Amino acid sequence: MLRVSRRSILLASASVPLALAGFRATDSGRAAESAPSQKPATPVVKDVTRTLAGYIVKAKYDDLPPNVRKEGVRTLLNWVGVAIGGSSQPATHIAVSALTPFSGPPQASLLGRRERFDILNASFLNGVASHILDFDDTHLRTVIHPAGPVVPAILALAEMQPVAGKAFLNALVLGVETECRIGNAVSPEHYDMGWNVTGTAGVFGSAAAAGKLLGLDEQQMVWALGLAASQPVGLRESFGSMNKSFNPGRAASNGLLSAVLAAKNFTSSDEMIEARAGWANTLSTRQDYAEITSGLGQRYEAALNTYKPFACGVVMHPAIDAAIQLRNENELPSDQIARVDLKVNPRVVGTTGKKTPQDGLQGKFSIYHAVAVALVEGAAGEKQFSDRAVRDPVIIDLRAKVVPVVDPSIKSDQVDMTIVLNDGRSFHKYIDHAVGSLEVPMSDQALEKKFADLADGVIPPQQARQVMDLCWGVENLANAADIAKAAASA
Amino acid sequence: MLRVSRRSILLASASVPLALAGFRATDSGRAAESAPSQKPATPVVKDVTRTLAGYIVKAKYDDLPPNVRKEGVRTLLNWVGVAIGGSSQPATHIAVSALTPFSGPPQASLLGRRERFDILNASFLNGVASHILDFDDTHLRTVIHPAGPVVPAILALAEMQPVAGKAFLNALVLGVETECRIGNAVSPEHYDMGWNVTGTAGVFGSAAAAGKLLGLDEQQMVWALGLAASQPVGLRESFGSMNKSFNPGRAASNGLLSAVLAAKNFTSSDEMIEARAGWANTLSTRQDYAEITSGLGQRYEAALNTYKPFACGVVMHPAIDAAIQLRNENELPSDQIARVDLKVNPRVVGTTGKKTPQDGLQGKFSIYHAVAVALVEGAAGEKQFSDRAVRDPVIIDLRAKVVPVVDPSIKSDQVDMTIVLNDGRSFHKYIDHAVGSLEVPMSDQALEKKFADLADGVIPPQQARQVMDLCWGVENLANAADIAKAAASA
């Protein structure tokens, strides 16, 4: 029904003189080029924004299948861990310092920190903190990092007005669902154009989740999504700088602002996603609106979230997985390694081709560093993407021996690695699905280990344990804000 | 120099295996498709962001030619007038009400109102108010409304830390220069894609102007522009709703946020405007970087600002001008008019084709209403785009007789109008340059009349007079914030 053309109706009512000049006025105020009568009219897509808004407004926690609830809880726990872990990073310190003079009432916590900010600024700051380690969750099809734009907004809201755990989890799932479906509709062309889809689609997720908790009606939700459409955040050129973490943070606060305004009836167009001069047509060369509107409440993108075992972009995970496995299975002294050949997916070089990273942040965009440090240290956590690791002479020496070769037959979660030693011996590993993928997901136990490592040095282990327990039991909480309060520094 | 290719250098250092697969890794981490050796390499554009940032950081008030200073003052006065005029509109009330719970310290005034907000929120709210009447300034080549994103940010900053009038005017000019040059580089393709260039280029203007007043060094200014590039605001689909005014408001606060973060060394890429996955390549199919970097300090886009005599988009101004002139020169009782034929520029129908507007805001996007109300009331101020006017039966009756015909030979500030009466007599008017254009600019006196009309009913006439005097004399003020304080309600 969504793809049924209304063009014939519009043409019938168009004014004749305008048609003579090759243009037709529609009552919606947009110009449409008149198609020659023998050719089929371009389909006019309708009601995408409204259909999505209607679903978000009506969807209930009780409707969520158990696996979706479970993945929502894992999404929450993983996000809280990375937000705590990123809370003491320089980018977070800077952003907190910069915004302190302008913050409103201390309505919401910063995870892992002592300061409290108004909910808009807190959403931004927690969103920045949660992404600065590049260690958060990933919706693999779109490479959206779903939690960053969504969770900080609703966690802040819950501190201002109590939100029961079930309603909180429902809003989280709906936010993730919204951003990933919109991302699907325009991927991969949208990302290839230059957009960081986490910030551009993420803002819809934040608006949807926050709007759900604010009790928006369908029209208000349409407006909230419309205001979100006006505020896409982030370009891929920012990768490797603090600006990348800015993206999910600003998406969170932009979406929350959209919902807050819509709740007071600040209006927008009714078709901001699908209109000719709307979001999808302007920000992508591909639009498949069925990705947004079909199977709502039946199939869940939110069930397809994944979590990183390594503190860098997922494109490098297969290579790191292979390197760690080869290291654990063999004796491979780094000074004996002659070369590390790896066949990689084309995207690896596009996003992580830095040959001589200068600091930890740049190291996250260097396949050369990632493979070298994994071989030397047998891990690829935050410590392996520190300034210390990137400047380690042993690792610098080894990274010069890493030789990635693009092979279009290698899928994004695959790698084919061969290590050749100085004595001529070679070791081979093929990874079909990297650890952390949908096929080889991180276990709950592995998520807890990751959380504890991230919290280490930020909050006491006992507090970290308590926060994890609150996350696992979120559905039983009278107020989900307990999680934020428990995750703040005393 | 900016267009000199560095590709050959990059190619020489690219790793051979990657080249075999059709990709080359550059040290900056981006993939570049390898061009066949017989074809010239695509020029790699460098230093656009840095060149612009260097100019902004160094440019002095004393360098500004007198005509540029004068136009900057007119830009200021016109903007203050429309911000006061829009301060009592529903969209402004709603936004103020929505943000009140989250505002920080009362650092900055809202023009025409009593409330005070932190500078980020005040920038947003004054920016919204100044555009809600669609009565602000226009850089005709790009259709950017330059003041809305820039002035509220620096006016708010001046309330927090005193800014001498000359420094304030210099920042204003640099902000307008920045956004209009960036807009020129991607126009008209950028707007045609669906973007509202006022919000997408405007955010650079705000970042530049605010960054200038915050004393950013060149690297910080590069980062501020980079953070601005991550936050384009607005799609044309929002036109006709409150979301349109959201665009300059959010551009103002986004740019100010960018400058505030950059001042604390929150980093970005150094090439966010010109990089492959940067702003210009991602948001437009056209990029002419010489528009940004050539003749800095020599030619000024800021001298090309124009001001609206009518409270609607400039595309309708020629038709309104013709209608008012024909009405003033002849006896044209509206019930005697059989039809109003007008040949218009193609863009008129694209953006103002609403045949049956339902309220005042929609009336601003209806060439039918605009011509009808101008003929009936002899004016096209804010009162003529009210709900009252749009629902007036006499005007509704007449608008059905307005017949715009697109004529590609008609330029954007032209119109050819013929009014035919029931008795067969006809009256003709051709407008070559509409009043308010560069060729027929509004006089200082006309700007004062417009200001006074906008302030009428919001602040007392004596106060309006005082604010106008402060604007005209801005260069002599010890603190430009005096203007904001004087324009607030007592």
Residue of B34, B102, B276 best to disrupt the A interface, most CBs of A under 10 A: B102
CB contact under 8 A, A246 and B229: no
Residue B72: count other Cβ atoms within 10 Å of its Cβ.
29
Binding-face residues of B in 186-225 toward A, CB within 8 A: 193-195, 199, 223
Q: Are residues A355 and A421 in the same domain?
A: yes
| Beta-bridge mates of residue A23 | A33
* C-alpha span between B272 and B283 (Å, rounded): 12
Contacts of A267 in chain B (CB under 8 A): 91, 241-243
- Whether the CB of A243 is below 8 Å from some CB of chain B: the reply is yes
The tally of domains found in chain B comes to 3
Strand order in the sheet with A415-421: A402-406, A337-344, A415-421, A426-431
Dig out the tokens for A87 from the structure: 């809370």
Q: Are residues A293 and A426 in the same domain?
A: no
Q: Are residues A178 and A319 in the same domain?
A: no
Asked whether residue B440 is assigned to any structural domain, the reply reads: no
Range of the domain at A413: 314-431
* C-alpha span between A218 and B27 (Å, rounded): 49
* C-alpha span between B409 and B386 (Å, rounded): 32
Q: What is the largest CA-CA distance in chain A?
A: 83
Average pLDDT taken over every residue of chain B: 91
Shortest CA gap A419–chain B (Å): 16
* C-alpha span between A309 and A321 (Å, rounded): 9
Three-state secondary-structure class, residue A287? coil
The closest CB to that of B278, out of A194, A260, A279, belongs to A194
Q: What is the pLDDT of residues B469-486, one digit of tens each?
A: 999 999 999 999 999 999
- Whether the CB of B25 is below 8 Å from some CB of chain A: the reply is yes
Asked whether residue A437 is assigned to any structural domain, the reply reads: no
Residue A423: count other Cβ atoms within 10 Å of its Cβ.
8
- The predicted pLDDT at position B43 comes to 56
Listing DSSP states for A120-134 in one string gives HHHHHHHHHHHHTTS
* C-alpha span between A297 and A64 (Å, rounded): 8
Q: What is the pLDDT along chain B (490 residues), one digit of tens a residue?
A: 333 333 333 333 333 233 233 333 333 333 333 333 344 444 557 899 999 999 999 999 999 999 999 999 999 999 999 999 999 999 999 999 999 999 999 999 999 999 999 999 999 999 999 999 989 999 999 999 999 999 999 999 999 999 999 999 999 999 999 999 999 999 999 999 999 999 999 999 999 999 999 999 999 999 999 999 999 999 999 998 999 999 999 999 999 999 999 999 999 999 999 999 999 999 999 999 999 999 999 999 999 999 999 998 889 999 999 999 999 999 999 999 999 999 999 999 888 999 999 999 899 999 999 999 999 999 898 889 999 999 999 999 999 999 999 999 999 889 999 999 999 999 999 999 999 999 999 999 999 999 999 999 999 999 999 999 999 999 999 999 999 999 999 8
Long-range contacts of B359-364 (CB under 8 A, 24+ apart): B359/B387, B359/B390, B360/B385, B360/B386, B360/B387, B360/B388, B360/B389, B360/B390, B361/B240, B361/B241, B361/B242, B361/B385, B362/A29, B362/B240, B362/B390, B363/B312, B363/B389, B363/B390, B364/B134, B364/B240, B364/B311, B364/B312, B364/B313
* C-alpha span between B487 and B473 (Å, rounded): 15
Alpha-carbon distances of B11 from A341, A351, A352, B1, rounded to whole Å: 21, 18, 17, 19
Three-state secondary-structure class, residue B21? coil
Q: What share of chain A is helix, strand, coil (3-state, %, to 5)?
A: 55, 10, 35
Dig out the tokens for A275 from the structure: 């209109």
Is the Cβ–Cβ distance between B173 and B131 less than 8 Å? no
Three-state secondary-structure class, residue A428? strand
Three-state secondary-structure class, residue B415? strand
Asked whether residue A180 is assigned to any structural domain, the reply reads: yes
Three-state secondary-structure class, residue A373? helix
Q: Are residues A318 and A274 in the same domain?
A: no
Q: Is A424 left (phi over 0), alpha (psi -120 to 50) or beta?
A: left
* C-alpha span between A94 and A242 (Å, rounded): 10
Q: Are residues A480 and A338 in the same domain?
A: no
Shortest CA gap B250–chain A (Å): 9
Closest B-chain CA to A407: B21
Dig out the tokens for B344 from the structure: 């218009």
* C-alpha span between A475 and A486 (Å, rounded): 16
Q: Are residues A124 and A271 in the same domain?
A: yes
- The predicted pLDDT at position A19 comes to 29
Listing DSSP states for A53-83 in one string gives HHHHHH--GGGS-HHHHHHHHHHHHHHHHHH
Q: What is the pLDDT of residues A256-289, one digit of tens each?
A: 999 999 999 999 999 999 999 999 999 999 999 9
Sequence-separated (6 or more) residues with CB below 8 Å from residue B213:
B154, B157, B158, B161, B163, B167, B168, B171
Binding-face residues of B in 394-413 toward A, CB within 8 A: 403-408
- The predicted pLDDT at position B26 comes to 33
Among the candidates A386, A411, A431, a domain finishes at: A431
The closest CB to that of A233, out of B22, B231, B235, belongs to B231
User: Is A258 exposed, middle or buried (CB count within 10 Å of its CB: 0-12, 13-18, 19+)?
Assistant: buried
End-to-end CA distance of chain A: 55
- Whether the CB of B247 is below 8 Å from some CB of chain A: the reply is yes
Asked whether residue A97 is assigned to any structural domain, the reply reads: yes
Nearest 10 degrees: CA dihedral of B248, B224, A243, A113? -90
Q: Are residues A91 and A34 in the same domain?
A: no
* C-alpha span between B350 and B290 (Å, rounded): 29
Crossing angle for the helix pair B202-213 and B147-160, to the nearest 10 degrees:
20
Half-sphere CA count of A99, side-chain side, radius 13 A? 33
Three-state secondary-structure class, residue A32? strand
Q: Which of B204, B310, B301, B216 is nearest to B265 (CA)?
A: B216
* C-alpha span between B33 and B23 (Å, rounded): 5
Listing DSSP states for A138-166 in one string gives EETTTTB--HHHHHHHHHHHHHHS---HH
Is the Cβ–Cβ distance between B32 and B10 less than 8 Å? yes
Residue of A132, A190, A243, A245 best to disrupt the B interface, most CBs of B under 10 A: A243
- The predicted pLDDT at position A240 comes to 87
Q: Which helix (DSSP H) or strand (DSSP E) does residue B470 occupy?
A: helix B461-472
Binding-face residues of B in 62-121 toward A, CB within 8 A: 91, 94-95, 97-99, 101-105, 107, 118-121
* C-alpha span between B77 and B131 (Å, rounded): 14
Asked whether residue B135 is assigned to any structural domain, the reply reads: yes
* C-alpha span between A136 and A130 (Å, rounded): 7
Q: Are residues B103 and B20 in the same domain?
A: no
B461-487 burial: b if 16+ Cβ within 10 Å, else e: eebbebbbebbbebbebebbbbbbbbb
Shortest CA gap A348–chain B (Å): 9
Asked whether residue A62 is assigned to any structural domain, the reply reads: yes
Q: Are residues A244 and A342 in the same domain?
A: no
Q: Are residues A209 and A358 in the same domain?
A: no
State which residues of chain A have pLDDT below 70: 1-44
Number of CB pairs, chain A paired with chain B, less than 8 A apart? 271
* C-alpha span between B204 and A338 (Å, rounded): 49
* C-alpha span between A123 and A248 (Å, rounded): 10
Q: What is the pLDDT of residues B298-347, one digit of tens each?
A: 999 999 999 999 998 889 999 999 999 999 999 999 999 999 999 999 99
Q: Which residue has the tokens 């007392």?
A: B460
Domain at B349, CATH number:
3.30.1330.120
If you compute the radius of gyration of chain A from its CA atoms, what whole number of angstroms results? Answer: 24
Q: Are residues B295 and B323 in the same domain?
A: no
The closest CB to that of B246, out of A227, A233, A356, belongs to A227
Sequence-separated (6 or more) residues with CB below 8 Å from residue A380:
A309, A310, A311, A312, A320, A324, A370, A373, A374
Q: What is the pLDDT of residues B146-169, one digit of tens each?
A: 999 999 999 999 999 999 999 999
* C-alpha span between A370 and A349 (Å, rounded): 13
Q: Are residues A40 and A152 in the same domain?
A: no
Asked whether residue B133 is assigned to any structural domain, the reply reads: yes
Sequence-separated (6 or more) residues with CB below 8 Å from residue A243:
A234, B223, B226, B227, B230, B266, B267, B268, B269, B272
Asked whether residue B436 is assigned to any structural domain, the reply reads: no
